[in-house]
Structure 1
Amino acid sequence: MDQAEYLYEFAKSFGDCSYSSCKKNEAQKLKRTLLVRRQSFYNNQPKKYPWYLEIEVTKNEKKEKSCINMTDEGFFTFMNRIHRFIDCFVTAYSTNIMKMKFNNEQNWKQNKN
């Protein structure tokens, strides 16, 4: 069982939930809003796609919104892929930064002597 399957099975025990986040940059007049919501039932009927993701970007008072509905399995597969990407990116980025710092220190030591 991979991580996405585990999270999918784990999610079956959860009820509905909601998460929202907002980031503002006053200098660029930019606002980003993320909404993640799980709603199992609508009008007493189980929903085929219980997960709802919405991203709204407002720049100079102009709004752009993107949204998607997902199944439990699709949502956790998507989140698992994001986490894998972040892990790979952070590892590669931090390795590159440490390599640059090491090279700078070596150059500094050589120039000092």
Structure 2
Amino acid sequence: VIDAGEIVNPDGIKNQIEGGIIQATSCSLIEEVKFDEEIILAKDWETYPIIKFNQTPKITVDIIDRPEEPFLGVGEAAHGPTAAAISNALYYALNIRIKQLPITRDRIISSVNG
């Protein structure tokens, strides 16, 4: 749910939030810059890990229309809440907190085995 004040372009708002959720999911679960002793290992989009479309979650965006309020920006509104929602889902499912992104399978297993 997004509160954007007065709504001018609801489709544009939904697209912005959906894109932000997908990007935040990728950052939270997959994206990581890896180094060896001297250099960054991923040098292009072929070798840098990002979420694929078949991995994206189903997203539903509801917009609160408040015509008496000023227009509000929504471009980056999804990033913080998405990462927090993923982390909290993991906590409620497994009672563990991962405090480093991305939240990878190896980090989850390491925390469970603790």
Higher relative contact order (CA 8 A, sep 6+): 2
In which range does the TM-score fall when normalised by the shorter chain? under 0.3
More strand by share: 1
